[in-house]
Amino acid sequence: MGAIMISICPIFVKLSSADATFAAFYRMLFGAICLFIIAAVKGESLWQGWRPLLWAGISGVFLSTDLVFWHTSIKIIGPGLATILGNFQVFILVLVGLLHYQEKVRWYFYLALPLAIIGLYLLVGIDPQQITPDYIKGVICGLATAIFYGFFVVALRKSQALPKKLQPMSNMAWLSLISCGYLLIVAKFEQQPFLIPDLHNLLLLFAYGLFGQVIGWLLISYGLPLVPVSLAGFYILLQPSLAFIWDVVFLQRPLTLNIVLGAIMIFAGVYLSTASRVKD
């Protein structure tokens, strides 16, 4: 259910008139409000010292930057492709694990990477004359999403490994609030207005914050420890798969054989990469 709810979020972004930074700010703002209320009702401590707050802030900066790139990609190339590209974060995380944490992977990780790259080539398009500069920008932003999302997960992992740490709900609440401040600074340099123009956009952005920053991630956080790792990877892979389906069904994304084959190869590569990790 968490993966399904998050898969709907790119549709909210695409249908709203908000630009990349604007949408990210309101996702974090509405998410922070809901998370602080839930944490208070549950009686979670909102203060464990400055160090957990620092790591929540670092995580928030990475997540906010990831969202700005993702929203830009969604506006240009659509929710489905943008979300698939963002899920290349799996390879970033595995590489960080290999290089920094000396983790081990199974042999099929080395099959997963070229499989995903070939899939990306098919998905983006084979005829260079059909690829506009904007389209290339959208793809680059999608890949940048993966990089910053990978950094976010590493920083979030660090924040939850501190001897004295915030509980997940409180940590995500602070992370979201600090992200709002960071995004306000970014918006000032971009000279972007921050007033929601109408009720339609208000409802879309509130739904985005509620489903994307609160309900979806809470369901995934509670569900992950209760299922086998292999099934967990498969369930989370539903998110980019469904985002691609919603793009086709609701936004009439055109389908070709190359796009379908490319998407299948990327899904297979991402799943193989997830399943290739070896526990010590």
CA distance 279 to 229: 11
What element of type H or E holds 277? strand 277-278
Q: Which of 129, 221, 130 is nearest to 170 (CA)?
A: 221
Q: Which of 41, 6, 46, 45 is nearest to 27 (CA)?
A: 6
Residue ranges with strand state E in 85-180 = 104-105
Beta-bridge partners for 277: 105
In the numeric block, which tokens belong to residue 248? 């086709």
Q: Is the pTM of this model over 0.85?
A: no
Per-residue pLDDT of 13-42, as tens digits, reads 999 988 899 999 999 999 999 999 999 998
CB 113 within 8 A of CB 273: yes
CB 22 within 8 A of CB 167: no
φ, ψ dihedrals at 217, nearest 5°: -70, -30
> What letter would DSSP give residue 106?
-
**Which pLDDT score, from 0 to 100, does residue 158 have?**
84
Q: Taken in order 79, 82, 86, 91, is the CA torsion positive or negative?
A: positive
**Which pLDDT score, from 0 to 100, does residue 23 have?**
92
Q: What confidence tier does 227 reach under pLDDT thresholds 50, 70, 90? A: low
CB 173 within 8 A of CB 39: yes
CA distance 130 to 244: 21
CA distance 171 to 60: 10
Question: What's the total number of domains in the chain?
Answer: 1
Strand 104-105, strand 277-278: pairing: antiparallel
With 70 as the cut, is the pLDDT of residue 125 above it? no
**Which pLDDT score, from 0 to 100, does residue 35 have?**
93
Per-residue pLDDT of 138-156, as tens digits, reads 999 999 999 998 888 888 8
Residue count of the chain, please give it: 280
- Domain containing 259 equals 2-278
Q: What confidence tier does 228 reach under pLDDT thresholds 50, 70, 90? A: low
* Class of residue 211 by CB neighbours under 10 A (exposed 0-12, middle 13-18, buried 19+): buried
Token pair 């963002």: residue: 86
The number of angstroms, rounded, from the C-alpha of 73 to the middle of its chain's C-alpha atoms is: 12
* Between residues 206 and 133, the one the model is more confident about: 206
Residue ranges with strand state E in 17-172 = 104-105
State which amino acid sits at residue 94: V
With 90 as the cut, is the pLDDT of residue 72 above it? yes
In the numeric block, which tokens belong to residue 99? 């290089």
